[in-house]
Chains A and B, each alone.
Chain A
Amino acid sequence: MSNIPSELKYATSHEWVRNEGDGIVTVGITEHAQELLGDMVFVELPEVGESVSTGDDVAVAESVKAASDIYAPVTGEVLEVNEDLEDSPELVNSDAFGDGWMFKIKLEDEGELESLLDAEGYANSIDED
């Protein structure tokens, strides 16, 4: 069973969301997701300043095995992207919940965080896969 930190929120499409305060969240993909994908070779990130809506495909994680869309887990504006992934996509594998983060979003509605899964809910959703 892979690690699922209890302080994060999750989407069933395997993104994690960390609340940084001030209506800002950091988004990445879970350890479980990177295990499924295998070694990451390219990560295509959204543009800073782009407006995204929950469920939009905003990034692509391309591994040795497959190209996989990454969805915006919340609605808002892209504030920052992890430029280190350009040269080191393997950070997604080695540190999915840390250095492998993908982008930050300024939430349109902070209440939206409540609609995401908690760690237990995400763990259950993986079991159902």
Chain B
Amino acid sequence: MTSKTVLHAKHIEAGAKMVDFYGWEMPINYGSQIEEHHAVRQDAGMFDVSHMTIVDVKGADAKAFLRRLVINDVAKLDVAGKALYTGMCNHEGGVIDDLIVYFFTDTDYRLVVNSATREKDLAWIAEQSADFDVTVTERPEFAMIAVQGPQAKAKVATLLNAEQTAAVDGMKPFFSAQAGDLFIATTGYTGESGYEIALPAEQAADLWQQLLDAGVQPCGLGARDTLRLEAGMNLYGLDMDESVTPLAANMAWTIVWDEERDFIGKEKLAELRAAGTEPKLVGLILEEKGVLRSGLKVVTEHGEGVITSGTFSPTLGHSIAMARVPRAVKLEDTVQVEMRKKLVDVKVIKPSFARNGKKAF
């Protein structure tokens, strides 16, 4: 039995090809995922992300609880509406999920977690919250639409009333604001500017239609994947999972180390960090023909690695990938990937390929 978002009928109406995405029937594309990709890099596209899980954490201990639960430190957040990207680890330092935390007050936060990990995330959060004075509430009554691209904000602006316009006026990246019924955040998964808008499910089809009428291109999971990969953003389940630490998933930058704060997984991660033995996640580029794909073996002079995500980059016109390789591999090194029974040279770079409409390396 697959779930359908409230926008399902709009996808069918727009000619979407639907696929099963971890139990959700979601659009993979509406014809051409490459055209959808270009729409986001060059103009404006929108994604139905209603399958994602919104969880509100409130109560006297909300801040203390989140300082324990996630590897980044919510104490950094001191302006209402500010957002924070973080990992949530188990006691062994494995990544249970990556998520965004939105801060409203010290007793009021919102988390947005992946849909594929919803059940285990909710169970973990419930278990860990037992000793804290917090209430954890899932918000399935919200739909969510991501509008992304250089023209995304301008196109959304044509649909907002005066109050909403004032609420988003001058909003910096990684902020959020409640504007009437709309929860509007300057976050996303594409490397372009834009909004992620959560709203009551019953209003979602109307907003989708208005965005369509404003010239925003509907985009499926196919374009979502090539856009996030170009932007160097991890996909849970491919680039990391519970068997992988943040140190091996290019997420070390999200860990805040300080003596007094004891977050879950800290002890193990500190040990691994000191040992320096964890592999690392790098970017690979292949400028000749062929497409790097998830699971392919990477051969380096320091040992083997593996491609965690690979694709054809529509912006660059060649293949790109993220790969987990031995820590001794350096940026600018040439390593090899085994493709269709041949070893092919690829270049190692930082995992950031294209953002804001252009090449990022």
B290 near A93 with CB under 8 A, answer no
Q: Contact: A64 with B312, CB < 8 Å?
A: yes
Q: Mark A55-70, 1 if CB is under 8 A from B, else 0.
A: 0000010101111000
Judge whether A81 is part of the interface by a CB distance below 8 angstroms: no
B34 lies within 8 A of chain A by Cβ: yes
B29 within 8 A of partner (CB): yes
Question: What's the Cα separation between A93 and B32 when bound, in Å?
Answer: 9
Other-chain residue from B289, B290, B311, B340 in contact with A64 (beta carbon distance below 8 A)? B311
Main SS class of interface, B: mixed
Chain B contributes a number of interface residues (CB within 8 A of A) equal to 14
A38 touches B33 (CB 8 A): yes
CA distance A116 to B226 in the complex (A): 38
Contacts of A60 in B (CB 8 A): 340
Residues B278-317 near A (CB distance < 8 A) = 289-291, 293, 311-312
A108 interface hit (Cβ, 8 Å)? no
Task: Count chain A residues whose beta carbon lies closer than 8 angstroms to a beta carbon of B.
Answer: 13
With both beta carbons as reference points, the residue of chain B lying nearest to A93 in the complex is identified as: B32
Partner of B312, one of A41, A44, A93: A41
Tell me, rounded to whole Å, the shortest Cβ–Cβ distance linking B314 to chain A: 8
The A/B interface has a contact count, at CB < 8 Å, of 38
B357 within 8 A of A: no
- Closest Cβ of chain A to B19, distance in Å, is 11
CB of A67 within 8 A of CB of B340, answer yes
Q: Are B34 and A42 in contact (CB under 8 A)?
A: no
**Do A42 and B290 touch across chains, with their CB atoms under 8 A apart?**
yes
- What is the distance, in angstroms, from A70's C-beta to the closest C-beta of chain B? 14
CA distance A66 to B33 in the complex (A): 14
Question: With contacts A64-B222, A64-B312 known, is A39 near B290, CB below 8 A?
Answer: no
Q: From B289, which residue of chain A is reached at the shortest CB distance?
A: A42
Other-chain contact of B33, A39, A42, A44, A62 (Cβ < 8 Å)? A39
Docked complex Cα distance between A93 and B289 (Å): 19
Bound: A39/B314 CA distance, A:
10
Min CB gap B59→A, angstroms:
45
**B contact residues around A38 at 8 Å (CB):** 28-29, 33, 222
Instruction: List B contacts of A66 (CB < 8 A).
Output: 293
Specify the chain B residue showing the minimal Cβ separation from A43.
B289
Task: Flag if A39 contacts B32 (CB, 8 Å).
Answer: yes
A15 within 8 A of B: no
Assess A42 versus B29: contact at CB under 8 Å? Given A64-B34, A90-B34: no
Query: Separation in Å of the B225 CB from the closest CB of chain A?
Result: 9
CB distance from A89 to the nearest CB of B (A): 10
Contacting B at CB under 8 A, from A31-80, are: 38-39, 41-42, 44, 60, 62, 64-67
The complex places the Cα of A66 from the Cα of B293 at a distance, in Å, of 8
Chain A residue nearest to B312 (CB atoms) is A41
Q: Cα distance A110–B311 when bound, in Å?
A: 41
Report the nearest B residue to A69, measured CB to CB.
Answer: B340
Q: In the complex, what residues of A have CB within 8 A of residue B34's CB?
A: 39, 41, 64, 90
18 A–B contact pairs at CB < 8 A?
Answer: A38-B28, A39-B32, A39-B33, A39-B34, A39-B222, A42-B290, A42-B291, A44-B289, A62-B312, A64-B33, A64-B34, A64-B222, A64-B226, A64-B291, A66-B293, A67-B291, A90-B32, A90-B34
Beyond the given pairs A39-B29, A42-B291, 6 more chain A to chain B contacts, judged by CB atoms under 8 angstroms and listed by A's residue number, are: A38-B33, A42-B289, A42-B312, A64-B312, A65-B222, A66-B293
Residues of A within 8 A of B (CB): 38-39, 41-42, 44, 60, 62, 64-67, 90, 93
